[in-house]
Amino acid sequence: MSTDVKQEPTLLLVGTDFRCAPIELRELVSCSGEQAEHALVHLLARPGVTEAFLLSTCNRTEIYLQPQDEDEAYRTSLELIFLQKAPELEKPGRLYVKRNGEAAHHLLAVASGLESMVLGEPEILGQVKQQAALAEHVGSTGPVLRRLLRSALAAGARARQETAITTGAVSLGYAVVELARNIFSGLEECQVLIIGAGEIARSVARPLVERGARELLVANRSEERARQFKEELPQAQLLSFAERLDALRTADVVIATTGADEPVLTRKQLKEAMASNVEAAASRLDNLFLHTIDSLDLLIQKNLKRRKEEVPRVEEILDQELQHFRSWVRGLEAEPIIAQMQKQAERIRQHELAEAFARFPPETHADLDRLTRALVRKILHHPSTQLRGRDGNHDLSRLDLVRELFRLDDDEPHGEPQR
The number of residues making up the chain comes to 419
Residue 300 CA to residue 204 CA, distance in Å, equals 14
pLDDT the model gives residue 170: 64
- pLDDT tens profile 59-68: 899 999 999 9
Pick from 193, 107, 192: which is nearest to 153 by CA? 107
- Phi and psi at 119, nearest 5°, equal -50, 130
pLDDT the model gives residue 411: 53
Pick from 121, 141, 122: which is nearest to 131 by CA? 141
Long-range contacts of 232-241 (CB under 8 A, 24+ apart): 232/202, 233/202, 233/205, 233/206, 233/209, 235/209, 236/194, 236/205, 241/195
Residues of the chain below pLDDT 50? 1-7, 271-278, 284-287, 391-392, 413-419
Annotated active-site residue 58? The verdict is: yes
pLDDT the model gives residue 2: 40
Query: SS3 sequence, 168-199?
Result: CCCCHHHHHHHHHHHHCCCHHHCEEEEECCCH
pLDDT the model gives residue 273: 41
Cβ proximity of 170 and 37 under 8 Å:
no
Give the predicted TM-score (pTM) of the model.
0.65
